[in-house]
Structures are given as structure tokens and as C-alpha cells.
Amino acid sequence: VDFDSHMSNTVATTVAAVNVVTPGDAHGRPYQPPTGDALVDDVVAALRHAYRPTAAEIAELATYLDRLRDVFVQRAADGLDGACARCNDLLRSTGAIPELARHDGEAWHLHFHPVAAPWAVGWAGSMATALAVVLGSASHDRLGVCSAPVCDRVYVDTSRNGARRFCSTACQNRVKAAAFRDRRRT
């Protein structure tokens, strides 16, 4: 029984949104977030939600996503204490609070922010709560940062054995191919 698929979906959404707004390296190449309408498009796609936010709302969410990313970075550096402290900061500053809601023809479901919270705060509160559920479980090591060269994307490992080290099969294959070339060379 999957008691809360909404929660698992929110963890995946957090990963996708953090990676959209974070400059750095992705899958072997430098990455710069898009700007303007393209940024709104990519964030909307990451959130898998119909509402189209304003540029100001996106900018507000991006400051939270930066802090959410830090939770992954801390956890990946074996800093579970630091990751939990940062997550608690986010829960407090977003005013995250459980509340059952029913709207837009949906069934009763659990929100983690007041239904009337501003858009960015609402999302950030839900995302912080979803990461808090993972950090407070035996599966806290499922949050990670890609260990492939030239990639700093965050990920959640939903595999059965939980041994993932890369953000994607693209990075995994890249590292495997490089190791194969090294073996042939020597």
C-alpha cells in the first residue's frame, strides 16, 4: 500500500524544480537556467501543475529551491544533522502545517501549508515537508547529489536496493563508458 503517493510525487517534483533553477553542471555540460518565459515553462513542467506563475513568484520560489538544494548537498556529504536543521528552518519559514483540504473536484488530501498561502510559500512548504518525511525515515540516504564528473544535479533514489550514485542513466552510462575507455588504454 502506498499511503501517500502525493508525498512521493512531491519529492520528485522538488528534485526536478531544484535542478531547473540551479546553475552549475548537468550531465557532463555546463548548465545555466533559462530566463523569462522559458524559465516559467521549465518550472511549470517540473511542478507538473497547470497554474502558470508570474516571474516574481518564480523568483520567490527560486530562493526556497536554493535552500532545498542545500538539504540534498548536506545529506550527500553525510551531514544528516545539518540536512535536518536546514529542513527545519524551511518548515518554520514557510509556516508548513498539515491541513486536510478538498478543492477543484479532488478527494480529501493532506496539504502541508495553509490553503491560502502565497504560491511560492505553499510549494516550498510542501517540498520541505516531503524532504522532512524522507530525512526522518530509514531511507534518508535516498536524497543525493550526482557523483558523476561535471554534474551536480540532485536526485532521489527510488530504486529497490537504494544504491544509486547518479542523477540519471545518462550520467551512469557516461561514467561506465569512461571507465571502459580507461581499462582499454591501460
Q: Interface residues with Zn ion (CB under 5 A)?
A: 146, 148, 151, 153, 167, 171
Q: Which is nearer to Zn ion, 9 or 173 (CB)?
A: 173
117 DSSP assignment: S
φ/ψ (deg, to 5) at 17? -70, -40
Locate 154 and state its grid cell: 540532485
Residue 6: burial class (beta carbons within 10 Å; 0-12, 13-18, 19+): middle
CA distance 39 to 132: 27
Q: What is the DSSP letter of 35?
A: -
Query: Cβ of residue 158: shortest distance to Zn ion, in angstroms?
Result: 16
Name every residue whose Cβ is closer than 8 Å to that of residue 174 and which is 6 or more positions away in sequence.
27, 28, 148
User: Which amino acid, 28?
Assistant: G
For Zn ion, the closer CB: 133 or 150 = 150
Closest CB to Zn ion among residues 87, 171: 171
Looking at beta carbons only, is 31 or 119 nearer to Zn ion? Answer: 31
| Residues in Cβ contact with 38 at an 8 Å cutoff, skipping those fewer than 6 apart | none
Query: Of the two residues 90 and 171, which places its CB atom closer to Zn ion in the complex?
Result: 171
Q: Least distance in Å: CB of 153 to Zn ion?
A: 5
State the minimum distance, in angstroms, from the CB of residue 171 to Zn ion: 3
The count of other CB atoms within 10 Å of the CB of residue 168 is 16
